Amino acid sequence: MMHPQILVINTGSTSTKLALYEAEKEKYKISLSHSAEELQKLKNFDEAIEFRLSKIQKFLTNYKIDLEKIDLFMCRGGLLKPVASGVYQVNEKMIHDLKIAPKKHASNLAAVLGYNLSPVKTNVYIADPVVADEMQKIARYSGHKNFERKSIFHALNHKAVARSFAAEQNKNYEDLNLIVVHLGGGISVGAHKKGKVVDVNQALDGEGPFSPERSGTLPAGDLLKEAFSGKYTLQEMEKMLVGQGGIVSYLGTNDMKALEQSKEAYVQEVIQAMTYQISKYIGEMAVVLQGKIDAIILTGGLAHSQKITDQIKSYVDFLSPVFIYPGEDEMQALAYNGNLVWQKELISKEY
């Protein structure tokens, strides 16, 4: 079977990342930066699409990429309605939901860009969006009927790393029990039970260990008092949770490389407090899996840090062997999923 030509599109808040793969082999890759001045001029979703399409066209022209020869367009998934994990063919319903999504996020643009670019609309897919939801029913209870626990996490990296680990062990992902920990600007800890993430912290703005810039789970009573103190607007409270929380709130920066080199005892104590919390959540997921754990996997940008991974291992390696997959290559993960679909090893789903 011939190797497919796969164009990968990953939209961030200030960038559009593009890559051309032949199966899983990268041929070209570029990150198009967008200035704050350019972005501020865009009034709505449609203008954002037109702006990024014009930038993409320059990439296609420079690298002489013929869209007619692209077999698959693999796009980052946005903030859709909750869906099971997997690869989804982009359709008009998905496009509609991305355009009206209550949470505005750059990830909502990727699938629409792919749909606009592709000469054949059935060749456009997303894989494991952040709203991938396989949580078991009992895990949804929060403690009050007005609030349901939600699954929002780094699903694309979780699933890709879990499948890679399984393949390296000559096993099927669906036969394993894994705890996967994504360590980045946000941190998610998921219990993967026989191919499904049956429990995971809501890593966007809701719960879990604190991270370089997110507060994670806070004392509810104290948070409530702050919210009604009159000192903060809703937007300021939201920034307290995401952007100005976690390490940033304690140390004023999210530059983990610089902080790790610091000789200050307080700095090192804050870092250890974060790894301590991460380890506690790994312990929670060990209980979810009833102690039947094939591996604990640490991944994401912070997994490059031996200090951080060693601290976590010191707490949790009695539970299971710990494996480290540093970095987060969303582009490679999208290409990997696209190739599985092309090889018919993975069947795409309908949104």
pLDDT tens for 2-35 read 899 999 999 987 789 999 999 989 998 998 888 8
How far from chain centre, in Å, is Cα 303? 15
- How many CB atoms sit inside 10 A of residue 324's CB? 17
Please give the pLDDT value at position 53.
Answer: 95
Sign, CA torsion 240/269/275/260: positive
H helix intervals, 169-264:
220-227, 234-241, 246-251, 256-261
> Partners of 31 in the beta sheet?
17
Task: Tell me the C-alpha distance between 90 and 50, whole Å.
Answer: 19
Q: What are the residues whose beta carbons fall under 8 Å from the beta carbon of 111, sequence distance 6 or more?
A: 75, 76, 77, 78, 90, 94, 95, 98, 124, 126
Residues of the chain short of pLDDT 50, as ranges, are none
Strand positions, DSSP E, the chain: 5-11, 15-22, 25-33, 72-76, 87-89, 124-127, 141-144, 147-148, 177-183, 187-193, 196-200, 295-300, 322-326, 349-350
DSSP assignment letter at 327 = B
User: Percentage of the chain with pLDDT > 90?
Assistant: 82
Return the residue matching tokens 């993960």: 333
Please give the pLDDT value at position 142.
Answer: 96
Task: Tell me the C-alpha distance between 191 and 177, whole Å.
Answer: 7
Domains and CATH numbers, the chain: 5-129+331-350 (3.30.420.40), 155-327 (3.30.420.40)
Please give the pLDDT value at position 1.
Answer: 59
Residue 270: C-alpha distances to residues 169, 183, 186, 210 (Å):
36, 16, 16, 10
Cβ-count burial of 209 within 10 angstroms (0-12 exposed, 13-18 middle, 19+ buried)?
A: buried
pLDDT tens for 156-174 read 999 989 999 999 999 999 9
What does residue 269 show for φ and ψ, rounded to 5 degrees?
-65, -40
Task: Tell me the C-alpha distance between 74 and 110, whole Å.
Answer: 9
What does residue 157 show for φ and ψ, rounded to 5 degrees?
-70, -40
